[in-house]
Amino acid sequence: MPSNKSVSDSQIIQFINCRILKDHLLQREDLWVRDGKFLDPEKLFFDEEGFADIRVDCNDSIVAPGFIDVQINGGYGIDFSLATDDVSGGVALVAKKILEHGVTSFCPTLVTSPPHIYHKVLPEVKVHDGGREGAGVLGVHVEGPFISPQKKGAHPEMFLRGFEAGGVRDVLETYGCLDTVAMVTLAPELAGSPAVIQDLAQRGITVSLGHSVASLSQAEEAVRQGATFITHLFNAMLPFHHRDPGIVGLLTSDRLPAERTVYYGMIADGIHTDPAALRIAHRAHPAGLVLVTDAIMAMGLPAGRHTLGQQVIEIQGLHACLAGTKTLSGSIASMDMCLRNFRQASGCSREAALEAASAPGPAPGAQPPEGHPGLRHRCRLRVAG
């Protein structure tokens, strides 16, 4: 029977002989797609009398949701923290390249920089859903400069600042514009941070805790004010201590709002986090784990010297360090590499590993969970063997 094209002239694609991630399980089920959107087969058959124009045999492969990377500093020679003459072009290049590794949405991330960098870069990053030309942009992740000098990592100390002028006024003066900002990493122990966290959360911006020496009680207060994420758990924060576990303690805290889920980023590149630490975090709070690459411009390039904002980074093997030091400065790992490392280290199921990399958001039009890193994500397909 010929297809009924009264509803749409676009071709209907049917993926057969595949496993899809549905209800936290890999299930054998055909998948119907038109114009990049999933179709309800019952409505297609009975309401439209439609049939597949193209059938794709997946040969028992997994059809997974597109991956999301909410912390990526650049790649393939592009450093998002540099105010170049073609900021949007650089973002587009990275978007196209990471699509090859299964990433369909991401947050271009800027490390601590002088104000003129933010004023130049932020307005030129365009939020969009993406498509065949590259991954979608969820918004910018600004990591700093409101962080602790004691846990600055590779962030240049000369550009760090606190909330001296009056909380959110410092934020607006520094960034210039918040229209394209999706996530802000800050240290919750800084004076004035509770009011800033509350203001940012009310604007729909995800507040992430990181580069911090915060105690557990300070971290809990930050969550009560609206923070919902932790930047690269275990890295650039106080180590776990049995009398005060610090930010890490949020994973099992019983003093948080009942409706609030705390998510946390993990860099599973085999360098930043020991496999045992990955297992501890995942077993303590599996629903909150979100894989991130923290990749820098050197991803996809030969070893040598590159930049991360205002700093020079040296690549030796799989290590990216501040030149002349052993301070880790991002990674050179792709998301699919992190997913494989995470699954091997944690011993988790394929389903859990895919969900950690994709963090699928709610269906279009649904009310998203507060603070979820995939708020504006439109999930596209990737096929994995």
Distance CA 145, CA 171 (A): 9
Q: Which residues are annotated as a binding site for Zn(2+)?
A: 143, 211, 232
E-state strands within 60-205: 62-65, 67-72, 74-75, 78-79, 103-110, 128-131, 134-137, 140-143, 181-186
Q: What angle do CA 314, 318, 324 make, to 5 degrees?
A: 25
pLDDT at position 19 is: 95
pLDDT at position 43 is: 85
Q: Which residues are catalytic?
A: 294
Q: Which residues are annotated as a binding site for substrate?
A: 154, 235-236, 243, 272, 328-330
Q: Which residues are annotated as a binding site?
A: 143, 154, 211, 232, 235-236, 243, 272, 328-330
pLDDT at position 382 is: 53
Q: What is the 3-state secondary structure (H, E, C) of 245-292?
A: CHHHHHHCCCCCCCCCCCEEEEECCCCCCCHHHHHHHHHHCHHHEEEE
Chain centroid offset of residue 293 CA: 8
Q: Give this prediction's pTM.
A: 0.90
Which token pair is 183? 């996530």
Distance CA 129, CA 135 (A): 7
The strand order across the sheet containing 319-322 reads 305-308, 311-316, 319-322
pLDDT at position 45 is: 80
pLDDT at position 94 is: 98
pLDDT at position 259 is: 87
Distance CA 261, CA 379 (A): 21
Give me the domains of the chain, ranges plus CATH numbers. Answer: 13-60 (no CATH), 65-384 (3.20.20.140)
Distance CA 131, CA 134 (A): 6
Distance CA 385, CA 380 (A): 17
Q: What angle do CA 206, 173, 294 make, to 5 degrees?
A: 40
Distance CA 332, CA 360 (A): 24
Give which of 203, 245, 247, 254 is closest to 226, Cα–Cα. Answer: 203
Q: How many CB atoms lie within 10 A of CB 248?
A: 23
State which residues of the chain have pLDDT below 50: 1-6, 360-379, 385
